[in-house]
Structure 1
Amino acid sequence: MQGVKIRTAKPKLPPAAIVNFLGRIRNGLIALTRKMVPPPVAVLEMLTSFWASQCISLIAKLGLADLMSEKEAISCQTLAENCGANAEALYRVMRALSTVGIFAEDSIGHFRLTPMGATLRTDHPQSMRYFSIYQGSLNWDNWGALSHCVATGRNAIEHLHGMKSFEYISGNPVRADIFDKGMVNVSEMEIDPVLAAYDFSPFKTVADIGGGYGAVLGSILMLNPGMKGILFDLPHTAEGARRYFDAAGLGPRAETHGGSFFDSVPGGGDAYVMKHIIHDWSDEESILIMKNIRAKIPATGKLLLIEHVIPAPGVAHFSKFLDLEMLVATTGRERTEPEYAALMAKAGFRLERIVPTIGLASVIEASPV
């Protein structure tokens, strides 16, 4: 189980409107650079981009970044001896990754980490190591079955392994460990933007449904000393969250409960948070989860979904490719604002507003009706 970082102070981040404006400029520049080369070249670059992702995944799997630093260069021979690789082949991989900014190569063929490469270290505060391993191993076969997914509308995991997605992942300890740690890597990128953008202080008790090991709920409680919390997840995960809450001194204010949100959820919260839960499930499954919350939430309560919201047609956004990840790996999907509003209405909620963050996810706020 990877360490959970519970925030003790509200993050100081720039306004979401400014960051999102800069993001639109960046997307425009990316589109412009593609137009600056002949169309076949632009397509070639996109078709071969997986070469870099597979190399990054390999470096992460070997734990190479843990043997390196940003200050001192090291030889491939030394690295190969420490990670069990062929020195010449490893050099070729690292040379290629130096062209995309993962490593910096000096005049004698030695390498040091760049700021991007440093995120492949296990101990980096924004580590992407395990997500890199997940993408190049567990998720590689899923995307290889994209044609099946498009032909049938069903995900690749059920097709390849004959099991539901989360049953397959949890069915092997090594597989589950890589997946869990990879999701923690990605989650860490989004917690600070959410805490900076949304004010949780009006609530007395926040219930985090599918709350994992408690990084989100623990941080909310730390920033709001008078608040209580309820974490609900599968039994083994809830037990892990209990240990983190106790270690952080939050034990008296944080309850943990194990179970399935398809059966029921705990009562007692005046705000119910779900971070990247609804996007994992079909409309029917999502409505059932939210109906179970509707049965317990008070009339004055709030449902808060932390999710990506697909923007208008023609607008570049990470969510449009993440939606394909949902297609190949789950029964879920990313959704537009009208789609979320319709889904919530069927579960007994009214979408009130969408609060953008400086990250890719937004906070979707709804009230019971």
Structure 2
Amino acid sequence: MLFWKNGRADTLTIRRAHVVDPTEKIDEILDVTIEDGVITRLGPSDPSRLEHRVVDGTGLVLAPAFVDPHVHLRTPGREDEETIASGTAAAAAGGYCAVLAMPNTDPVVDSAATLGALVETARREAEVQVGFLAAITRGQRGEELTEMAELADAGAVAFSDDGVPVASAGLLRRALQYASITGRLLALHCEEPTLSRGGHVHEGRVAAELGFAGYPSLAESVCVGRDLAIAAYENQPVHILHLSAKESVELLDRAQAAGVRASAEVTPHHLCLTDEAVRSLDPNVKMNPPLRAERDRAALVEALRDGTIEAIATDHAPHAAHEKEVPFEEAPFGVTGLETAFAALYTHLVRPGLLSLATLLERMSAGPARIFGIERPRVAVGARANL
């Protein structure tokens, strides 16, 4: 369930825009008329019909708005870092019409009461549609499952302990069984903490040269393998969050080929940057999972292109400025991305010919909407004008 404020009522025509909607198989110059937030006409330019507000779209691309399945709005508990109002304003500025917020807040979103309060705040403040994930375990401590049915009834779109893995394989198996009753998806943070603990950057040449403790890709892939195996055994769907390692991509590809109902997302920073960026010692390139080697980045781009990875998620995770104005090793993990995702991906992937514009748009919009079962933004008569 998504919640948002009512938009403005107006009539306008966007004229002679290059309309690109891969799922509707549209890639041509068209006029798009919108009345009261709904697309009412889609066709060749017709100046005789322009009796209202007109936007000149000449030379511009008009596409379905984006859906981000993984953001941190920091509410409740860290409103000094972000609020629902500021985070959704950033989303709107970046071209997003919907975001899904993670539950690792303070308090954790592990009760219907906490979720209900967030829903009411979103109704008042959100500039785009907002969906909330609820925690898999109470307090995200990995010890006891939340009341999933109650949380689903209260509006949770999915379940996740993002920020930490579900360490117990047995508890994860039970979570999959209960989630199947609710019809909600589990979104899994894959990290083996006994391998990653103390690490600041990808374990490799750059870490060694800079003298930083390493966070190996094995810490992710070993957990991805376990979680996919449990999903296969239970014949239940899972979604893997912020995939970053080549080995993880290979495990996902094999699982999908074997019929496992597994999806995954990748972030703009893991598609555009490698651990070479860490040489700057800029705390803004410190995130979890860390930037990895070129072999990993290339594997992620290829998996995005061939559909193994179906969604792009920013993992938008803001911090107060003073928290990042410290030495690299002391800085928290996390990077923003809502306002810059499309521009970065277009610049680094589409312009060099590594990815088509149509594929990028699909992975930023229809892909994540399909995974989480929410309304797909589209350029079609009768559709909500999320553009």
Shared fold, TM over 0.5: no
In our comparison, the structure showing a higher alpha carbon Rg is 1
For CA contacts below 8 A with separation 6 or more, give which structure has more relative contact order.
Answer: 2
**Structure with the bigger percentage of helix:** 1
TM-score by structure 2 length? Answer: 0.27
TM-score, structure 1 as length reference: 0.28
